[in-house]
Amino acid sequence: MSSTIVLYPTPAIGHLISMVELGKLILKTKPSLTIHILIATAPYNAGDTSPYIAAVSAAIPSITFHHLPPVSLPPHLSASSTHHETLTFELLRLNKPIVLQALRSISRNDTVHAVIMDFFCAETLTVPAQLNIPGFIFYTSGAASLAAFLYLPILHRKSDQSFKDQNTLLDIPGVPPIPSSDMFKPTLDRNDKVYHDFLDCTRHFPEATGMIVNTFESLEPRAVKAITDGLCVPDGVTPPIHCIGPLTVTKEGKGVVRPKTLTWLDSQPSRSVVFLCFGSLGSFSAEQLREIAVGLERSGQRFLWVVRSPVSVATSGLPDPDLDSLLPAGFLERTSERGLVVKNWAPQVEVLSHDSVGGFVTHCGWNSVLEAVCAGVPMVAWPLYAEQRFNRVVLVEELKLALPINESENGLVCASEVEKRVGELMDSESGDSVRNRVLAMKNEAEAALKDGGSSRVAFTQLTESWN
């Protein structure tokens, strides 16, 4: 019988990619193991993951994907009117007996040393426990937001108001004071089912054998210490925390054709370009796109900007944005000497690593934050969804790796704010301060992953506990 680790991500492509990267890291350090990944069918349109799964399967024979049979959600939960997170929690709940069956099936041929599941799957920790298999949580964001998640039941008891109505600063161990309105977007309204889904989820975290976090100790020392010292679960047990990051995307092989974005960057001066990219779900209104364009033009800075179709258009299935109709008349021509606008996608890791890139306007998704840190690129923090507003507070106030973008009361970021922040990042003392801090943190990230570094040591201890 071979020895194996079973991974259980949620269906969204970002969570799947993070889990596969963890699988690759396990195989790199323990090549004798095999990896089994359980794939649940998304209860909403989460994008097609089959090309990605096929590519990983072809490149890494030690990783096997198991597609779990689809389940029917209750009729009152429709994909069009329910939070994606609520649909995901319901799917994972209904999947528990199927996961038990899958683990029993895998165990007939292999010795399962551990099951590692996405934090959304915390309620499923009871399943490997039934089979006496250690169950771990893989938390794909940072230690600060994990501290807040662990502390959520305490915050729930402290007030009977929704976060969106509290208008206060939240005091969470290991974290700077958080405006209540900057808590994770799905948890802002306690009358919403998704709030209680997250609350129930966090109550299961203490059942884990351990928690694996995609961060490194010197990036978030205060949050890591607060969790380790048990301050975030004062009335219960905190499982051991394993900070193994930064874990970022690695490509299988190199493409033959070099993307246009990189050849354009080749012709730009060192550290002169600001890169604007807002993640796979980052879509703006047409009005907001025009404000960004005006701000970029007025700033006089060189820029590389990834534009997606506006929200209303994207949902109606028009994949490519029509730049001429979305952006101000003549914008592309007037800025052609110093700017490049690309549709939908750019190779983010390669762009951030390019010598010409000197700044990054980001939605504060944790993977993007780590990619910027690893490349030594300072950030402007422009959060959109999930835990990103929380991440902005941590990045700006605690880690000092980013400058904030400030929205108007109606949520719009005006052109003058874009102009101001981009200029400040690329050419000011405060921009230089953030840049120096990020470059120092880049060295810390490299040190954490080397022999004897904190993340390497934590990962070794984790894998040795499976023997």
The mean of the pLDDT values for the chain is 94
Is there a domain that residue 453 lies in?
A: yes
Interstrand relation of 178-179 and 169-170 (parallel, antiparallel or unpaired): antiparallel
Closest CA to 349 of 364, 329, 367, 327: 367
Query: Does residue 315 have a pLDDT over 50?
Result: no
The pLDDT value recorded for residue 286 is: 94
Is there a domain that residue 78 lies in?
A: yes
pLDDT tens-digit readout, 277-311: 998 778 899 999 999 999 999 999 999 999 998 86
Answer yes or no: do 334 and 231 share one domain: no
Query: Does residue 316 have a pLDDT over 70?
Result: no
Interstrand relation of 339-343 and 302-307 (parallel, antiparallel or unpaired): parallel
* Cα–Cα dist 67/332, whole Å: 45
- Residue 406 CB neighbour total at 10 angstroms: 10
> What value does the mean pLDDT take over residues 26-45?
93
Answer yes or no: do 275 and 231 share one domain: no
The pLDDT value recorded for residue 140 is: 93
Answer yes or no: do 439 and 453 share one domain: no
pLDDT tens-digit readout, 365-375: 999 999 999 99
The pLDDT value recorded for residue 255 is: 58
* Cα–Cα dist 407/74, whole Å: 38
The owner of tokens 């004897």 is 452
pLDDT tens-digit readout, 167-188: 999 999 999 999 999 999 999 9
Q: Name the token pair of 411.
A: 């949520």
Contacts 24+ apart (CB under 8 A), 334-341: 334/297, 335/296, 335/297, 335/303, 338/300, 338/301, 338/302, 338/303, 339/296, 339/302, 339/303, 339/304, 339/305, 340/260, 340/261, 340/264, 340/303, 340/304, 340/305, 341/305, 341/307
Number of structural domains found in the chain: 2
8 A C-beta contact, residue 33 and residue 142: no
Say if pTM beats, i.e. exceeds, 0.85.
Answer: yes
The pLDDT value recorded for residue 118 is: 97
Query: Does residue 438 have a pLDDT over 70?
Result: yes
Cβ density class 288-301: b for 16+ within 10 Å, e for less: bbbbbbbbbbebeb
Is there a domain that residue 412 lies in?
A: yes
Answer yes or no: do 158 and 135 share one domain: yes
Is there a domain that residue 288 lies in?
A: yes
149-158, 312-321, 346-355, 388-397, range with the lowest pLDDT: 312-321
* Cα–Cα dist 145/284, whole Å: 25
Is there a domain that residue 255 lies in?
A: no
11-15, 315-319, 329-333, 397-401, range with the lowest pLDDT: 315-319
Is there a domain that residue 137 lies in?
A: yes
Is there a domain that residue 46 lies in?
A: yes
To the nearest whole percent, how much of the chain has pLDDT over 70?
A: 96
The pLDDT value recorded for residue 256 is: 60
Answer yes or no: do 71 and 200 share one domain: yes
The pLDDT value recorded for residue 419 is: 98
The pLDDT value recorded for residue 80 is: 66
Answer yes or no: do 124 and 50 share one domain: yes
Answer yes or no: do 113 and 195 share one domain: yes
Closest CA to 232 of 138, 136, 143: 143
The pLDDT value recorded for residue 252 is: 57
Answer yes or no: do 33 and 174 share one domain: yes
The most distant pair of C-alpha atoms in the chain lies apart, rounded to whole Å, by 66
The beta strands (E) that lie in 9-80 are given as: 34-39, 63-67
How many C-alpha atoms does 199 have within 13 Å on its Cβ side? 16
Is there a domain that residue 126 lies in?
A: yes
* Cα–Cα dist 394/407, whole Å: 18
Q: Which residues constitute the domain of residue 230?
A: 2-250+446-465
Answer yes or no: do 234 and 267 share one domain: no
The pLDDT value recorded for residue 421 is: 98
pLDDT tens-digit readout, 8-26: 999 888 889 999 999 999 9
Answer yes or no: do 104 and 231 share one domain: yes
To the nearest whole percent, how much of the chain has pLDDT over 90?
A: 87
Note the helical H segments in 281-396. Answer: 286-299, 311-314, 323-326, 331-334, 348-353, 366-375, 388-393
Confidence bin at 134 (pLDDT 50/70/90): very high
8 A C-beta contact, residue 58 and residue 27: no
The torsion angles phi and psi of 48, rounded to 5 degrees, stand at -85, 115
Answer yes or no: do 245 and 281 share one domain: no
pLDDT tens-digit readout, 334-363: 999 999 999 999 999 999 999 999 999 999
pLDDT tens-digit readout, 57-74: 999 999 999 999 999 998
Answer yes or no: do 203 and 324 share one domain: no
CATH number at residue 238: 3.40.50.2000
47-51, 214-218, 346-350, 402-406, range with the lowest pLDDT: 47-51
